[in-house]
A and B are shown apart, each in its own frame.
Chain A
Amino acid sequence: MRFNPGRTGALLGATLLIAVAACSPAASTAPSEPAASTSPTAAPSEAPTQVARLRLGIVGDESTLNPYTYVTGFPGWNLLMLQYDSLMAIDEQGQPQPWLATAIDVSADGATYTLTLADGVTFNDGTPLTSADVAFTVTYFQANTQSRFTRALRGVESVETPSATTVVLKLAGPNPSFPLRTLADVPILPKHVWEAVTNPAEHTFDSVTNVGSGPYKLVEYNSDQFYRFEANADYFRGEPAVKELVVAKFADDAGAVAALRAAEIDMIVRPVAPEQIEILGAEAGITINKGPQFTTTMLNYDTTKFPFDRVEVRQAVSLAVDRQDLADTIYLGGATPGSAGWIHPNSPFFNSAVVTKTDVDAANALLDGINATDTNGDGIRELDGQPLSMEMLTPSNDSLRLRVAELVREMLLQIGIDAKVASVEQATWEAKVWPDFDVSKGRDYQLAVWGWSAPVQADTGQIAQLVHSDPAVGSINLTGFNDAETNQLAEELGVTGDPTRRQAIINRLQEIIADELPFVMLLYPDGAYAYRPDVYDGWIFITGRGIMDKISLLPPEARP
């Protein structure tokens, strides 16, 4: 047979077609499923206190769930911490409280932490947890860098163990975020297991080697199907309320919602989409637990370039957006309108003196005041001869942010600013706003809908990273904001441990942010979690974090 280019081409075309079809996100987009016609009934009021088995649903796989292999910050870390303990733990208000360490003494200079460990804590293989394990954990994470805990421990210069229950951590300098970001975050590793592990990122743990001190032990890992955890009956804080946890893995949210409705799972770990809240809440046997979350939706712009280098333009944008309207229209009320000063109104650090208002007339007056007027009658203002017209980037895979962008566009048109919505692939959006995830490489955008994950808001110390003009400090200052007083306050915040002084600095920073507007805070989507209370009703909502945390699975007396 002769070589036949036509046939070869067809073959090649066929293989390419498959590859391209698989690449296209549109190929797998699924709409929300049709609503069921069921009448609402009251949830049973009898809350079971001891539950034999609870089935949770997550989206995607979190791999083998050891500190080096889990995949996402949420819910990967939350699942990881079922098996491990940290020295402190987050309470219902989102604040760090004593846990493995029952006493935490901080030296006057804020740089030395002396911790006393709880008595009688053992790993689930029976080995006692001592100060040697804590010291080992610090040095191990520092030496094996492929983990988020390496960064959390970066500032620790030395660790001493004067006794089996005492640990002294010396930091390079004062770090007020240390309890929240490190002590309540880093899992304590069992030295006798991990000292033999030389390449943790490629070391696939199994149920035998997965040893921790936490309330649960991972006993079964089935890639892309489920995890099974068994309760640690000897847990040092008390026996968990749920004996067995099965975590089913879904490919997308719609699948998890269908499984919850069919009672094949008892709780969805991710927050439910706004349009599903009412539908699911009306279904018999399903309860929605709502509360404030610290994820953010905001407008970012390049404050070093036209036109957002003019503070009046930034102020006009902030005055023109109706945050309540965004929360009501797009999130159907399931969001908290943004405070112009960045901090969530439900946060204990919120400065109530910061006023956030919508005033289109005042916004127009501000722009008139800097001679930004519509000279050619097209409805769009011109400033210094250039029209106030730009692209507003938003990620194409996030329909909520796309709708935010579309509504914001309408709002800005009222003040003569033409922000064209550009829905781009998520990676392109990231690369333009945050090239190489490195602020020192600058920016390649004018305006974008942006958002941060909850930890950025939860740790008030992060304001420094958000607004300081030096990339070494302001590692997430994506808008190029540069203000002398802000820089000075941000530096002071990084070394101040005194709570009163910290609050004063945070209050002042919120005022500056609301006036100078390094970005426009739009809203904080609330968390709404769906579960079946007849199976387990012990969920508690941790401010800013939601309900999926090991303390939700512990009896009330065992919680921090």
Chain B
Amino acid sequence: MGSSSITGRLLQYVLVLLVAVTINFLLPRLMPGNPLALIAGADVGLLTPEQRQEVIERAGLDRPLIVQYATYIGDLATGDFGYSYRQKRPITDLIAERLPWTLLLTGIALAISAVVGTLLGALSAWRRGRFTDVASLGVMIVLESMPSFWLGMLLVSIFSVQLGIFPTFGAITPAAGYQGLEAVADVVRHAILPALTLSILSVPGVYLTMRYSMLGVLGEDFIRTARAKGLSERAVLLRHVARNALVPVVTVIALRLGFAFGGTVVVETVFSYPGLGRLIFEAVSGRDYPVMQATFLVFTIAVLISNLLADYLYPLLDPRARAAS
């Protein structure tokens, strides 16, 4: 890949980012409702007209849209996401507090779904048409169609409320004062159910890709050649089939990285997990414009980065893609 094509591709990403930023700015403003209620509190109707005006001016909502937009872009460029109407704290602080929790959940879920999905997919393809394949394919299709909030609540109901094995909510036990290893164990116990929910939801995607990719490779001429050479079935599968089948799977996993963030909105709400997804949920329900913009932007950037990653990983894995460009 030449340097000009790298520049071209980066330009493309910058353009997409700009469009996304603009949509981000406009979306909350196109939603119905007056943010005044939120800024001034529940009894906004009892404000005098002067107090009302003062509130609007302080929030900059009386300025022309284009001026608000320019201010927004300028602030973004300096890393200033602004102030939360609702929480009355800098949004950068809010994101910094929540991002690690979301990364933890999505990281675990992605690792589990990559390993389990790839192995099961390979096994399924190898045993194509036999019981293992049919059964796992059936299970995966059922899992893929499950609503995440339903799955999450089911897990809470069984493992937390009935069996009492895992905590029902949060990322840590509130004010437990745990130290060292105890604290780590506490975080792990809290992460298991939400991470499991996220994993269950993302395994089928990896599994299906791996299975179909394997089946495709199994039908290739070079596999017949390998078998004809007298290689063992094990060597054929591992060295020739799986390696080649993995290329599209890696792309799918890299793309999932971005979308995994989106999946956390529901899961973090069900488990009251203090991540970015819950921050979005609360910002949307409270019409907290600046927080909505900032969190959407973080999600957008996550998707763009994962796409970029997929773009650059592909030629590394597949020599043909390198040769082509």
Residue A309 interfacial (CB < 8 Å): no
Residue A376 interfacial (CB < 8 Å): no
Query: With A145-B51, A250-B272, A436-B36 known to touch, is A69 a contact of B88 (CB < 8 Å)?
Result: yes
Residue B109 interfacial (CB < 8 Å): no
Residue B314 interfacial (CB < 8 Å): no
* A202-B97 in contact (CB<8A): no
Min CB–CB distance A154 → chain B (angstroms): 8
* A427-B304 in contact (CB<8A): no
A146 to chain B: which residues have CB within 8 Å? 55, 58
Question: Contact partner of A68 among B88, B149, B280, B304, CB < 8 A?
Answer: B88
Min CB–CB distance A322 → chain B (angstroms): 30
Question: Contact partner of B270 among A30, A224, A225, A438, CB < 8 A?
Answer: A30
Interface stretch, picked from A110-118, A259-267, A508-516, A528-536, is: A259-267
* A250-B259 in contact (CB<8A): no
Question: Hey, what's the 0/1 contact readout for B86-103 against A, CB within 8 Å counting as 1?
Answer: 111100001001100000
Min CB–CB distance B261 → chain A (angstroms): 7
* B265-A27 in contact (CB<8A): yes
Query: With A63-B86, A222-B174, A255-B272 known to touch, is A1 a contact of B161 (CB < 8 Å)?
Result: no
CA distance A22 to B302 in the complex (A): 15
* B168-A255 in contact (CB<8A): yes
Q: Which of B153, B174, B304 has the most CB of A within 10 A?
A: B174
* B12-A145 in contact (CB<8A): no
B300 to chain A: which residues have CB within 8 Å? 15, 18-19
Q: Which residue of A lies closest to B162 (CB)?
A: A36
* B27-A27 in contact (CB<8A): no
* A3-B8 in contact (CB<8A): yes
Residue A455 interfacial (CB < 8 Å): yes
CA distance A455 to B42 in the complex (A): 11
Residue B287 interfacial (CB < 8 Å): yes
Beta-carbon contacts under 8 Å, A438-479 to B: 438-439, 453, 455, 465, 475-476
- Report whether over half of chain A's contact residues are helix, strand or loop; otherwise say mixed: mixed
Interface stretch, picked from B15-23, B72-80, B217-225, is: B15-23
Residue A220 interfacial (CB < 8 Å): yes
Query: With A14-B258, A430-B34, A431-B33 known to touch, is A223 a contact of B274 (CB < 8 Å)?
Result: yes
* A73-B258 in contact (CB<8A): no
* A22-B262 in contact (CB<8A): yes
Question: Contact partner of B269 among A68, A252, A264, A439, CB < 8 A?
Answer: A252
CA distance A225 to B186 in the complex (A): 14
Beta-carbon contacts under 8 Å, B1-21 to A: 1, 5, 8-9, 12-13, 15-16, 19-20
A1 to chain B: which residues have CB within 8 Å? 1, 5, 8-9, 325
* B296-A25 in contact (CB<8A): no
* A63-B296 in contact (CB<8A): no
* A223-B94 in contact (CB<8A): yes
Query: With A1-B9, A22-B299, A246-B174 known to touch, is A12 a contact of B20 (CB < 8 Å)?
Result: yes
* A18-B303 in contact (CB<8A): yes
Query: With A21-B265, A249-B272, A251-B272 known to touch, is A61 a contact of B161 (CB < 8 Å)?
Result: no
CA distance A9 to B186 in the complex (A): 43
Question: Contact partner of A254 among B15, B55, B153, B279, CB < 8 A?
Answer: B153
Residue B60 interfacial (CB < 8 Å): no
Q: Which residue of B lies closest to A18 (CB)?
A: B262
Query: With A18-B303, A246-B174, A246-B175 known to touch, is A73 a contact of B45 (CB < 8 Å)?
Result: no
CA distance A425 to B15 in the complex (A): 33
Query: With A23-B31, A63-B88 known to touch, is A251 a contact of B282 (CB < 8 Å)?
Result: yes
Min CB–CB distance B245 → chain A (angstroms): 24
- Report whether over half of chain B's contact residues are helix, strand or loop; otherwise say mixed: helix
* A22-B34 in contact (CB<8A): no
Residue A41 interfacial (CB < 8 Å): no
* A255-B271 in contact (CB<8A): yes
B55 to chain A: which residues have CB within 8 Å? 146
* A455-B259 in contact (CB<8A): no
Question: Hey, what's the 0/1 contact readout for B300-318 against A, CB within 8 Å counting as 1?
Answer: 1001100100000000000
B268 to chain A: which residues have CB within 8 Å? 251
Residue B29 interfacial (CB < 8 Å): no
* A60-B45 in contact (CB<8A): no
Beta-carbon contacts under 8 Å, A222-257 to B: 222-226, 228, 244, 246-252, 254-256
* A248-B34 in contact (CB<8A): no
Residue A29 interfacial (CB < 8 Å): yes
Q: Which residue of A lies closest to B37 (CB)?
A: A437
Q: Which residue of B lies closest to A10 (CB)?
A: B307
B307 to chain A: which residues have CB within 8 Å? 11, 14
Min CB–CB distance B96 → chain A (angstroms): 10
Min CB–CB distance A42 → chain B (angstroms): 21
Residue A28 interfacial (CB < 8 Å): yes
Question: Contact partner of A72 among B24, B42, B287, B325, CB < 8 A?
Answer: B42
Query: With A18-B299, A220-B175 known to touch, is A438 a contact of B304 (CB < 8 Å)?
Result: no
A-B contact pairs, 10 of them (CB 8 A): A27-B266, A69-B87, A246-B175, A251-B272, A251-B273, A251-B278, A436-B36, A437-B45, A438-B45, A453-B43
**Besides A28-B269, A69-B87, 10 new A-B residue pairs in contact (Cβ under 8 A), listed by A number:** A15-B300, A18-B296, A27-B266, A31-B153, A33-B153, A224-B274, A226-B175, A249-B274, A256-B169, A264-B168
